Amino acid sequence: MWEQLEKYRNHFLQLEVKDVLKPSSINSQQNSEWTKQLVKRDISKFMPDHCTSSSTYFEDRAKLAYGWFALPKLMKEMDSDNRQTHWRAVVSLTEFLLNPLNAQRAITEMDIVRKLKNAFMKIRLKHHAEEYREMEMYLRIYSIISRNLNGAENIANRKCLRVEFYKIIKNQEYLKDDLTSQILRNLTGNPKVLGIILEDPENFAALAAIFKKDPCRLHYPMHLWHHLCHLLEVAPEQGLELGFFELMHYRILHRLFDYWDMATKAFALLLCCAEGQRRFDAVDGVKLLFDTLDQPCERPGVFVPCQKVHNWEYTILALLNGLHSKRALWRSREFTPLSCHVGRLMGTETNPRLQLYCLKVLRELGVMPCTKRYIIGNWLEEITQLFCLDAEAECARDSLLDWLRRDIADSS
């Protein structure tokens, strides 16, 4: 009977060697060979030290329920005392909340900002040890939530979170500083939440401390620069009091890494108040910006690649904002090529904002009669034939042409 049962296994082998071995012997031989092959396969799984480890994608994620039951399940598991269960729920939330409907529901119904704040602060205050990468995941969730207006307000109204965010950036914690900068940028990108941030002067002071820590630091997270510009756009006077004018002027004067980008934009925003204009005149800002515009005409090889300007938009914006005083206008008369540099940049084919700023700068420079006569003699035809990239630039061009074609003695 047992031999008869053995025939039901390895049917092909049984037919091939039925006259040589008994069915039980064939199956026994097959089992031993199968075991050897399994051992070989397991040995091949062990990778050398220099090889990357196997993926933990599924091990790091929780099992999701269907439909509307998924979010309550994840929130319940996030409150678990089991660290692995908590970790899997947090990682899954970073992907589940990318759906705006899920994010809105988590904010309004599940109070996720408060629950996440408790877990976040426990690790920041060293009450719990970080076993996995929980801090990074918390910041990813906050970054997603901050894109929602209700979520941004909930985060901004919790001072303990704002304080820790600025500490993370100041300490330059790897991977976390960029995520935190993105959160702050999302917060101040909304006018309503920007007002909440500005109500507490400690926020602006903490940001100033980050930039003052090392004035020669080459790189800051791009999101942090945008966060700074959001604040300076509304409160330039406060930025001047905190010393941002000197910081940005130093970066432009010494041509630090990518000084022509966000540092120049921040410098331009600081000039939108009377005190900023006074300081601009005191440091001879017109000559500072002229030297930047005159850079391509200088000897090749003077600057390293990171000092060469690749986008003139913010330099022209700074010049536009700095020409609101009589002293700056009189100083601009001494730099005849200034209007030529602006005129060349006016012909851009890719940047409508740069084109608009150039047209406005030519209008400001033309307030001085000698400069207006120079623009009429050298750039009137180019301005007339200029192809405008958007409607706003076209209106500025038409207004400039109408003004240039008037009699130079006409004070209107």
Q: Which segments of 97-200 does DSSP mark as H helices, in order? A: 100-108, 112-124, 134-145, 149-156, 159-170, 176-188, 191-199
**268-297 pLDDT per residue, tens:** 999 999 999 999 999 999 999 999 888 755
Given a cut of 50, whether residue 117 has pLDDT beyond it is yes
Give me the pLDDT at residue 300, please: 53
Q: Using alpha carbons only, how large is the chain's radius of gyration in Å?
A: 33
- Residue pointed to by tokens 């930047």: 292
Q: Residue 11 has which token pair?
A: 């049917």
With contact defined as beta carbons under 8 Å apart, do 80 and 86 qualify?
yes
How many CB atoms are located within 10 Å of the residue 166 CB?
A: 18
Sequence-ordered list of residues with C-beta below 8 angstroms from that of 11, at least 6 positions apart, any chain: none
pLDDT category of residue 306 using cuts at 50, 70 and 90: low
- Per-residue pLDDT averaged across 195-204, rounded? 93
Q: Nearest to residue 310, comparing CAs of 270, 355, 259?
A: 259
Map residue 181 onto helix, strand or coil.
helix
**118-144 pLDDT per residue, tens:** 999 998 988 888 888 899 999 999 999
With contact defined as beta carbons under 8 Å apart, do 106 and 75 qualify?
yes
Handedness of CA 23, 24, 28, 34 (dihedral sign): positive
User: What is the DSSP track for 333-348?
Assistant: TT-THHHHHHHHHHT-
- Residue type, position 379, single letter: W
d(CA 271, CA 382): 30
How many CB atoms are located within 10 Å of the residue 357 CB?
A: 27
With contact defined as beta carbons under 8 Å apart, do 269 and 233 qualify?
yes
Side-chain-side CA neighbours of residue 62 (13 Å): 28
Q: Which segments of 235-351 does DSSP mark as H helices, in order? A: 236-241, 244-253, 264-270, 274-282, 285-293, 313-322, 326-332, 337-346
Sequence-ordered list of residues with C-beta below 8 angstroms from that of 261, at least 6 positions apart, any chain: 225, 311, 314
User: What is the DSSP track for 208-225?
Assistant: HHHHHH-TT-----HHHH
- Per-residue pLDDT averaged across 19-35, rounded? 76
**166-191 pLDDT per residue, tens:** 999 999 988 899 999 999 999 999 99
Handedness of CA 192, 196, 197, 201 (dihedral sign): positive
Looking at per-residue pLDDT, the higher value among 153 and 29 belongs to: 153
With contact defined as beta carbons under 8 Å apart, do 365 and 339 qualify?
yes
Supply φ then ψ for residue 256, to 5 degrees.
Answer: -70, 180
Given a cut of 90, whether residue 24 has pLDDT beyond it is no
pLDDT category of residue 164 using cuts at 50, 70 and 90: very high
